[in-house]
Structure 1
Amino acid sequence: MSEETFWKISDFVETLKTHLNNQNIHINTVDGWFKRLEKERLHYINRTLETNEKVYDELDLKIAMFIKKRREDKWALSAISNDLSNFFELRPFPVKKEKPAPYVDNMETLKKQITEEVKKTFEEMATAKVEELKSQYEQLLNGLPKPPSIEERKNQSFQAMVIQRKIESSLEEEANQAWSNLPEDQRLKRVGFFRKDIDLEKKDKFVRDYINENFVDRLKKEMELDK
């Protein structure tokens, strides 16, 4: 059995470039992908025990290749994030261990005794109601609709992803058109003394803001919720 391989971010990006035969992948871009996944609590990046530095493995490499391909297909990062679980067993976040409470002389013993007494009294009072509550609970469960199957959930997730992608693509086209209609002094920035060029940072923000401001209304319209 071969030993598992781990990379620090710089080596990880170089390995990704080699696998994709693409030298135009920036380390900040890749780092941003995985920071977003961790921020959304979707996928955890391993850390070293000594320095708590992030290290990436084969699973992370496959995810990075998947994200790069989807970005080349003009997918939004939010749509890619929502779709990852359909293709990968994402890494869960480690469970934080709670520190034991400090011992406080006989006070803890007293609290424990009181707790046990309350628990015993409650159990004695509740015994007569157990069967009745159980019956009511079963009736309540029987009255609830059956949860969707795995296939139904996958289909719902896929449909939601398709709708989101459709809306974002439409809004992006509208935003680009709206941007092109702006006066030159709002779209261009001076580069040197004699040349002006498109202010890409300003354009990206304009497009993002346009999508964010119009997404909810367009989603309501798409879902026919505004009638």
Structure 2
Amino acid sequence: MRELSTIEEPYWTLGKASEYLKQEKGLNIPVVTLRTWFNALEKYKVHTLSRTEHKRERVLFQLEIDIVIFWHQQKELYGKNLSSEFMANAVQKQFEGKLNYYDLNQQTSSSSELVTMDRFIERVNDELDDRIELMKDEMRKFKEELYQEFENRTRLALPDPKVREQEEAERAKEAAEKAKVEEEKEKERQKETEILIRSYQVDIYITEMRLKNELKREAEEEWAKDPAKVGFIIKREDTAKKVQFINDYVDKHLPERMEEELKK
């Protein structure tokens, strides 16, 4: 995975990438579509997006922007019914030598907690992206409705220009106030999400500590059944082997126990 803190190359989150593509490239590609495309590339082991260190947000560099543009062009040329598998293969051929796939599950297989947290945080980020997109879409519809209402009234009767300007100003003010309220609500939702994530991390940590203690007790019971001995004349328990046996036992069974606990 690329360390973002050491890279000067500009990058975009999925939401920012959608805005960039619309403003700079004239391509209207929603966040949901971007997520679907890159999920397909990961599913078919073609390319994996980098993640930010803390929030685990997926980010796009210029390479990924080029991939999106290529994908969109192929859809425009050959129809929007091209399968995700077909497009993943097309991307692999078009950008051969530039792509970077890594298995997130395999990378963090030594810690069941990290795998679970990555998936949880990624799901939260996706939900936040969807909420923001929904809010933007509602604002666009609201503005269109205001404009349509204004057009209808204009056709029915042409009021004094000053009255018309005042009405337009009032509607613009109302729209701005509504946008501000929605922005504050979104900030509150983000705070609640951060609190939820911290609480989830604490719960996982406590669960892991409890399971480790349980596994250590189990390991000691298993060891006691047939403990290794050292010494020719006076036999005594091999402490070093006992410690290694317990550590190996915990490492072997902890991921499975964590997974069982998190499914409850």
TM range (shorter): 0.3 to 0.5
Is the helix fraction higher in 1 or 2? 2
Normalising to structure 1: TM-score of the pair? Answer: 0.41
Normalising to structure 2: TM-score of the pair? Answer: 0.36
